[in-house]
Structure 1
Amino acid sequence: MEAGSERDQALQDDQWRLVLLIKSLSNPEHPYHRTPHGNMQILQDGLQEQGADICQKFADWYKNHYSANRMKLVVLGSEPLDLLEQWVGELFADLQSKEPPQNHWDSGEPWLSDHLCTEIFAKKMEPGQFLYIMFPFLDEEQLYQSQPSQYISHLIKHKGRGSILVYIKAKGWAKKISASRITICPGCTFFTVSVGLTEKGTEQYHEVVKVIFHYIAMIKERPPEQWIFDKIERQAEAKFRCQKKSSASDFTLDLASRMQRALPRKWLLSGDRLWRKFEPDAIKEAMSYLRADNFRIMVASPGYPGNWDSREERCGTKYKAQKIPEDFLSDIHKVLESSSKERISDLHMPHKTPFSKLAVRLTAQKAVASLGRYSKSIWLAMKLPFDQAKHHLARRRTFEDSNNKPFAEEKALWSTSTL
């Protein structure tokens, strides 16, 4: 009943429905094709078609996979450590290790050649239109120190002048953009660019895709830069140190999942939330996956294009799938091979600012930094509500106008909860 309820709830969520659709349009021999939710009816019907015994199937799975060397245990409690350790021994000491190898799916691809260079139109239940550009990507399991995908996603989703977002918003095509690596399973990773489209942008989705590939071409032609990595590193550290305190169940689940990865024990708490090493060659290798023959597109909308001709069996989502038109693919190839003079002139990389190497010393009340003839004050106000402390950071800058008269500018920077 619990699994069935979870499945029914997931089927009401557009994001899960889209995930199931992408899974169903993938290699049926790869684990990614399988559904993450099920119920007794699905189990019984599927096994009956195979002429298999459901109880025997469970017994075989237990025999082959239920092994101590594939498990990680996290215990969090207020009791003394000796007592917690005693409980663990009493409850888990008899668990056998059958020494099966760790699962790693690098012998097959989730998307075959027939799945690439395709575009999928999916009908959403909720308002709003989205464009997804998905690339099979570099496996970063052993690249936890450098995480090259974070360098790429930082540039694609940045919101400053010359960015993709500023350009497509000015055109009236989009409202937001994000980019991230998605690890499906060990040995299988995607890199996805997601764009929140307007109705006008939905009809012009090919133009939005071209803009993104223009920016990808621009990133590729420049060697990876240390200052960009340093900026990402500092932002990640600040976010990690100022994150909200999670619940006990979320903390233990997250930590146990992280223990399954090839991380040194000293980095289990931070995991891949921090960046520790700049590896230009790894970034270049990661960029090599963003090619015109290695992606697929999904446009999700409640009304566009309207002529969906198929229905996904597991979630009932209406969709239409087809090969990307050859003329459009040819345009993408031309964009990736173009010179800087042939690209969109309004697009450019982020500029290095004097703030990128600014060292700010925070005290309990005030931090002061000097920027040449300008001065800047940063005030850190502490509030102590009944549950946890919050930090409110504001900035005050003093400039000189054309008549050499000083004037001040104040801006609230952020407010966040501490651990």
Structure 2
Amino acid sequence: MPLSFVVSFLVVLITACTGSPNPGVSPVQSPNDDRQYRLLTLENQMQVLLISDPQTPKAAASLDVNVGHAENPDDRGGLAHFLEHMLFLGTDKYPDPAEYEKFVTEHGGNRNAYTSFEHTNYFFDIDAAYLPEALDRFAQFFISPRFDEELVDKEKNAVQSEYQMGLKSDSRRGLDVLQEVMNPEHPFSRFSVGSLDTLADTPQASVRDDLLVFYDKYYSANLMRLVVLGAGSLDELESMVAPMFSPVPNKAFEHETIAAPLFTAGELPAMLQIKPQATRRLLQVMFPLDDYRDDYRVKPMSYLGNLVGHEGEGSLLSQLKAEGLAESLSAGSGLGWRGGSLFNVSVTLTEEGVENYDRVVQLLFNYLDMVREAGPKRWLYEEQSRVAELAFRFKERAEPINYVASLASSMHYYAPEDVLQGNYIMSDYQAQMLEDMFSHLEPANALVILDDQSVSTDRVSEHYGAPYSIAQVREAQLAVWQGDAGELPLALPAANEFIVDDVALVSVDKASAGNPKLVLNEPRKRIWFAQDDEYRIPKGAMYVNFRSPEVGQNAEQAAMAALYTSLLRDQVNEYTYPALLAGLNFSFYKHAQGVSLRISGYTDKQFVLLKDILADIAETGFDQQRFDNIRANFVRSLENAVAKRPSSQVFDDLRESLLHGEWGEQALIAALQSTELDTLNAYAASFWASASAEALIYGNYTDAAVDDLAGMLDMVVPSGKPPALSPLQVTKLAEGERALFPVSVEHDDAVLAWYLQGAGNSWQDRAATALTAQIMKSGFFQQLRTEQQLGYIVQAFSWSQLDVPGLVMLIQSPVADSAALAEAMEAYLGRVEGELDEEQYLRHRRVLVNEINRPQKNMWERAEFYWQSIAKKRYAFDGREQLAEAVEAMTLADWSAYYRQNFLSLSRSLQVAAPGKWGVLPTGDQQEYPSAAEIKASHNVYIIE
């Protein structure tokens, strides 16, 4: 249950929904949305949105409480977050703390929650038939939670683990500093995560007493918004939901406007410097502004963010790159509260940018001056409005669990009729409001934050120990920021040529519908084609895989391929960025056997974009400065791997041990440091000389698209017989093998990732391994996390590598060494079979079959399935059916025999362990390996043709 500092820049209209919605009001729906909706207000003033979707395989629900860490008492940092944890651990009606997690998991579901500044959001999904039982358990969170004393004491350790896990996170550390330097009277200054110290009992009150007080005060039905999505009719859903949630008490609590300013008079302008853990070169400029959330039809911050954050020709980022000062830039609204908001500009700097950060700030204010002098532009506003309107018109289905969680939060802020379209409305152009907002974007109203290892600091933040310094900006520095940056090609964005004109749907030929067909098969070019006859939107996916033997053989090739794709993305960014804004997505990235290019979105302008990109590829030539900066940024990102979450670092080491063609950070850094521009240009020429292309065209296309794509591919793909490719390989562990790979992670926590490989890669092996993960995951979490409190990250899951099945158990622990973690995991493995009866097994099997057969909910899921099937040479596109049949055919006796043989007695085991502060590794008769390379060199492999 992660605590998230989640602030949507579109969360607005806090006053519009404080009363009861008109029962006759229905939310405005996208024309592409065929679900049914109903808004209602229960007797206790809880507002509810019901969604009927008879075809949904998953039901989902979310309840959002308009309470977050802003309400933490001054002496109880993290209390709101701790309360979020505790609600999962038993109620009067369902006292077993494992019951909710077990029921949801055994019936195909997931559950989670997050706490932010103003919100605590609880959500789950489940197989649609089991919504009533799950919803009844969920409702009890808000009626009669137990707050069991023993569990209160245990769960404090989970919060402490989550807190410790973030101690090396620069984003958490930066937030800690920001909260420390702002006005202590503002509630945002309160510690959000919590720790054993802040949640300890005191002579005045136990933390349980404070939880009860907090819950009784703030968890009021009138502050709650509930969204329920199910397969039943609206009447059926209402008759189920109303009696379940009407008993939630209404304490009639009303929030007051936060009168305290974020920074007191005279504090700004200020310069805040923070020393990060990682090599992080980040400049942020924050401007406190009015609260514009009521003005969601205007969206003034969205308009401003589009201008400042633009990446096209004439943009601020374009100039920063031209001067070698920055790599990336983002701009938009950050925190919003009842009474104010922040507008943030974030710039990732180069080394030169750090040395000349005053110039970066000066360029920002020169750009803002230009925007202010130009004044609001209705045509620019209407462009954004048109893009937003199209996005809502052709809105596609999201995962039910994500959809309900987002809507429950939005319901606090949008008028009832706008709860579905509030994020997309931008219909009320108000020039005066925009001008008023522009007037606050001045140096005198700025907090400038520089994160870099080189900064001078004189203080340390209380909770995360981040070194920092803060000072008022001196007149001389302020004069530089306000000074004239010289004659510069800064300009407002040009008219966006990629905004779609034609949204007509093409006629579908029955022969071209259904699964893709290979319609072009030449030695160096293969094109698969299918028209969409189900989703019927004016969009499509065009994917091209360029394969070459120049990728995947060594670390040098891997580094150069990744660097080349980064340089190319940078080179085309100025004209692909407007396409992105217009709903036309582009990506270009390295994979195991080559590089892939993807274009997706509205089909109207796709070939215009593709032609420009391929022309740039064909010309191949990069600027020396951009090469130097991007290579340095790439090296820095690899060096910063040490600042990643310890469990993520260990998991990366596990992946490197198994996948041939994967190399660790040090090998890639060495390769990059020896790569020069001439070397890279030679590599690119060699890559394209040996490249072949396989493509998929799927969506709203005519068959003429095949010829168009084939002709354009000739710009980069040569003719003739392609060279042979090396096959993909996965490390093959031996029956009965016990391997140990100790890794070094700079963190006190111990981590163990225990990988158990399936006996083979047949459908039966995949089915048995996936079933094992489904059976294990709930109990593993409940016993090792909730009961034993071994850590915050406690997971068991299925993890296939190129269809070689495997099972992973993963724990990051601040309280136990990796030997103790291995013992706890092994003990759990020994209990799994004995705790499973026939009825439970059949439930798990049904859940897994349902998940495998779950229909793709949108065009992009379907396109990804087709693309992965083509990559795996499953040209019958029947992989899901094959796996589902194998699972369905496996009896409990079959599974038990497989489990005992392959996961207990003769397992194929690899443990990747970070010893943490204890310096202790798992014990036993294990073969220890010093590196991932040594593991791969000493083992046989699965050959993936």
User: With structure 2 as the length reference, what TM-score do the two structures score?
Assistant: 0.37
The answer for the alignment partner of 1:204 in structure 2 is 356
Task: Indicate conservation of the 8 Å contact 2:282/2:451, yes or no.
Answer: yes
CA distance in 1, matches of 2:490, 2:312: 10
Q: Residue 246 of structure 1: CA displacement?
A: 3.3
CA distance in 1, matches of 2:348, 2:436: 28
Q: Residue 343 of structure 1: CA displacement?
A: 5.0
CA distance in 2, matches of 1:418, 1:239: 18
CA distance in 1, matches of 2:341, 2:362: 23
CA distance in 2, matches of 1:259, 1:159: 33
CA distance in 2, matches of 1:265, 1:350: 35
Which of 423, 430, 433 is equivalent to 1:279?
430
Change (3 A) 1:9 1:224: same
Which of 490, 500, 515 is equivalent to 1:347?
490
Bigger mean CA offset, 145-154 vs 233-242:
233-242
Change (3 A) 1:125 1:357: closer
CA distance in 1, matches of 2:394, 2:165: 32
User: Residues 237-261 of structure 1, C-alpha deviation per residue, up to 9 Å, x if partnerless?
Assistant: 3445666743333222211111111
Q: Residue 382 of structure 1: CA displacement?
A: 5.8
Q: Where does the alignment leave 5 or more consecutive residues of structure 1 unmatched?
A: 336-341, 367-380, 399-407
The answer as to 2:412 corresponding to 1:270 is no
The answer as to 2:239 corresponding to 1:86 is yes
The answer for the alignment partner of 1:226 in structure 2 is 378
Task: Indicate conservation of the 8 Å contact 2:292/2:340, yes or no.
Answer: no
Q: Residue 383 of structure 1: CA displacement?
A: 6.7
The answer as to 2:501 corresponding to 1:359 is yes
Change (3 A) 1:290 1:365: farther
User: Residues 41-98 of structure 1, C-alpha deviation per residue, up to 9 Å, x if partnerless?
Assistant: 31227x55xx444344333323332221111111122344334323323322122322
Change (3 A) 1:5 1:83: farther
The answer as to 2:474 corresponding to 1:325 is yes
The answer for the alignment partner of 2:630 in structure 1 is none
Q: Residue 114 of structure 1: CA displacement?
A: 4.9
User: Residues 340-397 of structure 1, C-alpha deviation per residue, up to 9 Å, x if partnerless?
Assistant: xx853321222346x388733432379xxxxxxxxxxxxxx8677x999972332249
The answer as to 2:214 corresponding to 1:61 is yes
Change (3 A) 1:126 1:260: same
Task: Indicate conservation of the 8 Å contact 2:220/2:251, yes or no.
Answer: yes
* 1:165-314 pair list within 5 angstroms: 165-240=317-392, 245-261=397-413, 263-301=414-452, 303-305=453-455, 307-314=456-463
Bigger mean CA offset, 235-244 vs 88-97:
235-244
Q: Residue 333 of structure 1: CA displacement?
A: 4.0
Bigger mean CA offset, 311-320 vs 195-204:
311-320
Aligned partner letter, 2:488: S
Bigger mean CA offset, 344-353 vs 179-188:
344-353
Aligned partner letter, 2:299: Q
Task: Indicate conservation of the 8 Å contact 1:244/1:417, yes or no.
Answer: no
User: Residues 98-152 of structure 1, C-alpha deviation per residue, up to 9 Å, x if partnerless?
Assistant: 22223432x1111113542111111222333110000001211210001111111
The answer for the alignment partner of 2:170 in structure 1 is 14
Q: Residue 294 of structure 1: CA displacement?
A: 0.7
**Relative contact order, CA 8 A, sep 6+: which one is greater?**
1
User: Residues 256-282 of structure 1, C-alpha deviation per residue, up to 9 Å, x if partnerless?
Assistant: 111111x12222123233312211111
CA distance in 1, matches of 2:712, 2:168: 41
* 1:19-34 pair list within 5 angstroms: 19-34=175-190
Aligned partner letter, 2:373: E
The answer as to 2:607 corresponding to 1:395 is yes
Which of 257, 277, 280 is equivalent to 1:128?
280
Task: Indicate conservation of the 8 Å contact 1:131/1:195, yes or no.
Answer: yes
Change (3 A) 1:358 1:327: same
CA distance in 2, matches of 1:168, 1:134: 19
Task: Indicate conservation of the 8 Å contact 1:120/1:320, yes or no.
Answer: yes
Which of 140, 152, 159 is equivalent to 1:3?
159
* 1:109-124 pair list within 5 angstroms: 109-124=261-276
CA distance in 2, matches of 1:203, 1:239: 41
Any idea what SS the aligned residue of 2:334 has? strand
Any idea what SS the aligned residue of 2:540 has? strand
Task: Indicate conservation of the 8 Å contact 1:231/1:356, yes or no.
Answer: no
Q: Residue 320 of structure 1: CA displacement?
A: 1.9
Q: Residue 174 of structure 1: CA displacement?
A: 0.3
CA distance in 1, matches of 2:425, 2:197: 43
CA distance in 2, matches of 1:136, 1:257: 23
Aligned partner letter, 2:200: Q
CA distance in 2, matches of 1:141, 1:154: 17
Q: Residue 186 of structure 1: CA displacement?
A: 2.3
CA distance in 1, matches of 2:366, 2:712: 34
Any idea what SS the aligned residue of 2:364 has? helix
The answer for the alignment partner of 1:417 in structure 2 is 860
Any idea what SS the aligned residue of 1:135 has? strand
CA distance in 2, matches of 1:260, 1:71: 8
Q: Residue 153 of structure 1: CA displacement?
A: 1.2
Change (3 A) 1:248 1:16: farther
The answer for the alignment partner of 2:200 in structure 1 is 44
Which of 304, 307, 310 is equivalent to 1:152?
304
Change (3 A) 1:396 1:314: closer
CA distance in 2, matches of 1:17, 1:388: 46
Bigger mean CA offset, 12-21 vs 234-243:
234-243
The answer as to 2:230 corresponding to 1:77 is yes
User: With structure 1 as the length reference, what TM-score do the two structures score?
Assistant: 0.80
Which of 307, 311, 315 is equivalent to 1:163?
315
Task: Indicate conservation of the 8 Å contact 2:362/2:483, yes or no.
Answer: no
Change (3 A) 1:222 1:382: farther
Aligned partner letter, 2:269: C
Task: Indicate conservation of the 8 Å contact 2:291/2:337, yes or no.
Answer: no
Using the aligned pairs only, state the percent identity.
26
